Amino acid sequence: MDSSNRIGQGLWNKIRSGRLTTTFTLLATLSAGILAGSMLTGNVSAKQQKVDSSDAKPIVIPNPVTLSNGFSAIVKQVGPAVVNINTESLPKESTSKGRRGQLQGPPDGNGDQGDQGDMQDFFNHFFGGQGGAAPEAQGPQHALGSGYIVDPRGYIITNNHVVDHADHIYVKLSTDPDDPTDPGRPATVVGTDKDTDIAVIKIDSKTPLPIVKLGNSDGAQVGDWVLAIGTPFGQRNTVSAGIISAKNRSIDEGGDANGVALNEFQKFIQTDAAINPGNSGGPLVDMAGQVIGMNTAIFTQSGATEGIGFAMPSNTIASVYNMLIGPDHKVIRGSIGVQFQAEANSAVGRMYGFANGGVIVGQVVPNGPAAKAGVLPQDVIVSVDGTPIKNGDELIAIVSAKKPGSTVKLGILRGGKNISLDVGITDRAKLYADRDKASDESTGPDVPDAGQSKLGITVQPTSAATQGKLHITGGVTVTAVKPGSFADTINLFQGAVIVEINRKPVTDMASYRAVVNGLKSGDDVVFVVRSPQQPNSGNTYIGGTLQ
């Protein structure tokens, strides 16, 4: 055996004996290569040397063929208008509180650790996450995102959270060189809207830029094919395909203890097209090559796509964009000054007579348009300007689109009677600018109540301090909820102040016991409660059928 064969055989013996298991793949390949080399140099058989390959035909690469693939045509049409956004946040002198859900990201293409814009881009942006203060920055922080050009003069739409708090914003076009030393073209913020997480930025260009065309998101159907285009994990010009898996999804960061939505302006298209960190702000495109949404968030437990992504509908984007490019560069939404539950339990509807649609008023903002027009708590709004209202989403959509200073006619159901009121529209931001931000109030010792066996709760008289905070008289406060009880199943929460049960006022312990003692199995039970944690949220209606 020559020297090369001895080396190869020695390595192979060590691998088989287990002494080199940690380098099995590499060394096994080397061993095979050494053995093959020795065969080629000195052990090629005579039979192999005599093979006549004159009849073998060379492989010829055919001319390119354009297949009937609609995806590729759409990418060629839309891709040039999709941009990469890179932001830089400079370290601040004072330590500030970190944003909710902020996570440290994986290295981007330049070797820097992406921070809030890269990983908060999607990870738990709307699903809680690691709250609390972020570590103080030791140097400039870089983040990645996507966007798309909608005006040849350089106007770009992206997510607000991509550019939020950034000191410098840079944009790279799909045709710009992929040079890691060049951050891109400087961009400026035209306007932002945190309620919808939409931002408009602008870059300068001497020549007209390619643009996308926005479609009508109302026409998108569940099951339609869509493409997501962007810069996931810093990989520019990446395309993924999927379908629309749901529409009108709410993915709020949270709500009160009863699930009352905190952000009523975010209703998303859900898709299973692969969306990852860096896709944020990129377009979701239909098969007509039109943008019907903007990729904004994913639901994830692993830190990457799991087939549930969310895109802001294009109809919302267009409305917000048109306001942001206006002279004031801000979004103005109309309001009538009422608060309500986004979704009411069916028992609440039956109890208050609006099972077929309507919105029950929880609170009327003092000195607001609704208060001045005579709207009262427990009024049920059933129409606006003659248009029937099925739920809170429809009421918000109609009212918020109205211009401040205009007037609407509300159809109201009050005590079983239909009335009509003319209500003015005011600027929502101004109306709620001075709302109190009171802290939680402590409660006194527990007092046994009559609802433990039937409802699964204990209550106590509401303290004077809590009454003052909530601007109420009387009420009882829930001090404990038994797991698995009726109260637990309908999400009646500890700390809730009960002011009414089944349309009967609860002013003290005696009135509370009187109502509860009359309840029996099969009854609809509806609580009107107030939350000391959210004193300005008004009445919340919680109900169910007692078993």
Distance in angstroms (rounded) separating the CA atoms of residues 310 and 320: 18
Distances from the Cα of 439 to the Cαs of 260, 465, 474, 536, in angstroms? Answer: 19, 12, 20, 11
* Number of Cβ atoms within 10 Å of the Cβ of 197: 25
Counting beta carbons within 10 angstroms of the beta carbon of residue 115, is it exposed (0 to 12), middle (13 to 18) or buried (19 or more)?
A: buried
Measured N-to-C along each axis, helices 24-42 and 3-17 cross at an angle, to the nearest 10 degrees, of: 150
Tokens (6 digits) for 157: 């739409």
For every residue of 381-399, DSSP letters joined together read: EEEETTEE--SHHHHHHHH
Q: CA-CA-CA-CA torsion for 213, 215, 220, 226, nearest 10 degrees? A: 10
Distance in angstroms (rounded) separating the CA atoms of residues 236 and 498: 55
**Residues paired with 413 in a beta bridge:** 380, 418
> Residues 121, 197, 272, 379: which is the catalytic one?
197
* 197 a catalytic residue: yes
State which H helix or E strand residue 29 sits in.
helix 24-42
**Residues paired with 311 in a beta bridge:** 269, 295
Amino acid, single-letter form, for residue 151:
D
Look at residues 207, 205, 171, 174 and name the one whose alpha carbon lies nearest to residue 189: 171
> Residues 89, 280, 335, 400: which is the catalytic one?
280
Measure CA 185 to chain center. Answer: 28
Known catalytic residues are 161, 197, 280
